[in-house]
Structures are given as C-alpha cells and as structure tokens.
C-alpha cells in the first residue's frame, strides 16, 4: 500500500522494558533516507553540515553535497520521521521519537 501511495512511515519495536528500538522506514523511499535517519538517530540531533562532514570523514572520497543532505532531512520531516528545530539561520533535526 505504501509503495502504491508513494509514501513511507517510521516503524519501531518495543522491548520488555518498553524501550523503543530498531527504527526503520518502510514504504516507498530510497536507502539514502534510511541511512540519513539512522545517522541523525545515532547522534540524537544533527544538521546537514554535520552529516556531510561525518560522511566525508568516513568515506574519504566521494562526497554527498550538503544540498543533498538538506533534501533528505526535509523529506524525513515531510514523512514525519524527524522534527525540524530552527536555530538562527540553520535548522537542526532530531527523530520524532526518542
């Protein structure tokens, strides 16, 4: 249904202590959105510049433009996986569920 609607949702599991884990986007999205969500979730909060710097350091070569990170973050806000936090001229993002 999600693929037909070109939509995605955030899912997670709850353990016996009611802690949430194993967050995953399901539906119609590319792997870069899942990766972006995971990076933000690992950090707790991030912006596009931080994600670019983090992945540039890890990859050592082919870099993802900051604009691409901004687009991915905006898409995750649109589908309800992240919340946008305005900070002056920049925007930071954190998972909707923490």
CA distance 77 to 28: 15
Residues 37 and 12 sit within 8 Å (Cβ to Cβ): no
Establish if 2 belongs to a structural domain: no
pLDDT at 60: 62
Angstrom distance (rounded) from CA 88 to CA 98: 23
In this structure, what are the phi and psi dihedrals at residue 33, rounded to the nearest 5 degrees?
Answer: -70, -40
Could you tell me if residue 3 is inside a domain? no
CATH number at residue 47: 1.10.10.10
Q: Does residue 64 lie within any of the structural domains?
A: yes
pLDDT of residue 29: 65
| Measured distance CA(73)–CA(83) in Å, rounded | 9
* Domain membership flag for residue 1: no
Judge whether 50 lies within some domain. Answer: yes
Per-10-residue mean pLDDT, the chain, length 98: 61 77 70 87 92 82 84 91 91 86
Q: What is the pLDDT of residue 5?
A: 54
In a domain, residue 53? The reply is yes
Q: How many domains does the chain have?
A: 1
Are the CB atoms for 28 and 7 separated by under 8 Å?
Answer: yes
Q: Copy the structure tokens of residue 50.
A: 């931080």
Q: Containing domain of residue 43, as a range? A: 8-95
């Amino acid at each position: 249904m999600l693929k037909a609607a070109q939509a995605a949702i955030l899912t997670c599991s709850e353990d016996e202590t009611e802690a949430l884990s194993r967050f995953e986007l399901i539906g119609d999205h590319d792997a870069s959105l899942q990766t972006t969500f995971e990076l933000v979730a690992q950090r707790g909060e991030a912006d596009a510049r931080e994600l670019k710097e983090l992945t540039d350091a890890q990859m050592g070569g082919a870099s993802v433009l900051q604009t691409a990170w901004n687009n991915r973050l905006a898409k995750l806000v649109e589908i309800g996986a992240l919340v946008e936090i305005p900070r002056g001229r920049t925007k930071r993002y954190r998972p909707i569920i923490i």
